[in-house]
Amino acid sequence: PRVLVLHGPNLNLLGTRQPEIYGAETLDDVNSLLREKAVAAGWDIECQQSNHEGVLIDAIHDARLDGTQAIIINPAAYTHTSVAILDALNAFDGRVIEVHISNVHKRESFRHHSYISLRADGVIAGLGIQGYLVALESIIKAYKK
């Protein structure tokens, strides 16, 4: 089985961007931890980051065709704006877990609404980068059932 991990805009700056909110670990750290866990469970994993909405949408379209079972997505700011990413995910048949590093509900009110949550099978917020690992664990477990 195969899982796609998608990171939205500004997450390439993880580790240096507002570390008081997003922590000190880099995106490479996150992806390495995910890769380790996925490989140990016998899963293929692809991790992608883009600052461009259309690139994220294209990656979701590719996932429809290449046998991807599940998507872990942190859409970052597009969470709160992107009907287009929601529509792309609605065209994907597998499991979708939405991850936010910070607790978006504790922050500005514009971060309280997520278009992506209309599609997500699960939503994790506020666990730091551990949220990605919990998301992956849930996907591996759900697939075994």
Annotation marks residue 80 as catalytic: no
Smallest separation (angstroms) from ligand DQA to the CB of 50: 13
Nearest to ligand DQA of 75, 94 (CB atom): 75
Q: Which residue number, 51 or 143, has a Cβ lying nearer to ligand DQA?
A: 51
Q: How far is the CB of 18 from ligand DQA (least distance, A)?
A: 9
Largest CA distance in the chain: 40
Name the residues that contact ligand DQA, by CB under 6 A.
Answer: 10, 74, 76-77, 79, 100-102, 104, 111
Are the C-beta atoms of 100 and 124 separated by less than 8 Å?
A: yes
Which of 7, 78, 100, 115 does the annotation list as catalytic? Answer: 100
Nearest CB to ligand DQA, comparing residues 86 and 101:
101
H/E stretch holding 2 reads strand 2-7
What is the Cα–Cα distance from 98 to 132, expressed in whole angstroms?
9
Q: How far is the CB of 104 from ligand DQA (least distance, A)?
A: 5
Question: Phi, psi (5° rounding) for residue 23?
Answer: 85, 175
143 part of the active site: no
Of 85, 63, 88, give the one whose Cα is nearest residue 75. 85
Q: Which is nearer to ligand DQA, 102 or 130 (CB)?
A: 102
As measured in angstroms, the least distance from the Cβ of 1 to ligand DQA is 25
Q: Using alpha carbons, select from 53, 46, 96, 105 the residue that is nearest to residue 71.
A: 96
Q: Which residues contact 58 (CB under 8 A, 6 or more apart)?
A: none
Q: Say which of 22, 78, 115, 132 is annotated catalytic.
A: 22
Residues assigned a catalytic role: 22, 100
